[in-house]
Amino acid sequence: MPKIEEELDIALELEEPKMYKVLLHNDDYTSMEFVIDVLMGIFHKSYEEAEQIMLQIHQKGRGICGVYTFEIAQTKVNQVKQKAKQNEFPLLATVEEAS
């Protein structure tokens, strides 16, 4: 049986995945220290970065913690929700498509 080699000329177009912002929202009950702890532990921010983001959340009502692919953003939101619940804080994290 003869060996047949075929060349496949298929052009694959790869698109960059959509990116999503993870936002933390201000409330009247969650402590500033807890928000800093969340930013350092879940979002791997330095203390200085965490403090700046926490102040933005406090002053503007919400702040961006990071920009990720959808699955990672959802995971971060779930981690925040779980940690907030364990510590009895109503801290809200949401996902928003990055522009």
Where do the structural domains in the chain lie, given as residue ranges? Answer: 30-97
pTM for the whole structure: 0.84
Residue 92 has pLDDT above 70, yes or no: yes
pLDDT per residue over 56-86, tens digit each?
999 999 999 999 999 999 999 999 999 999 9
Q: Distance between CA 11 and CA 26 in Å, rounded? A: 47
Q: What is the fold, at CATH topology level, of the domain defined by 30-97?
A: Ribosomal Protein L30; Chain: A, (3.30.1390)
pLDDT for the residue numbered 98: 95
In sequence order, the 6+-apart residues with CB closer than 8 A to the CB of 17 are 69, 70
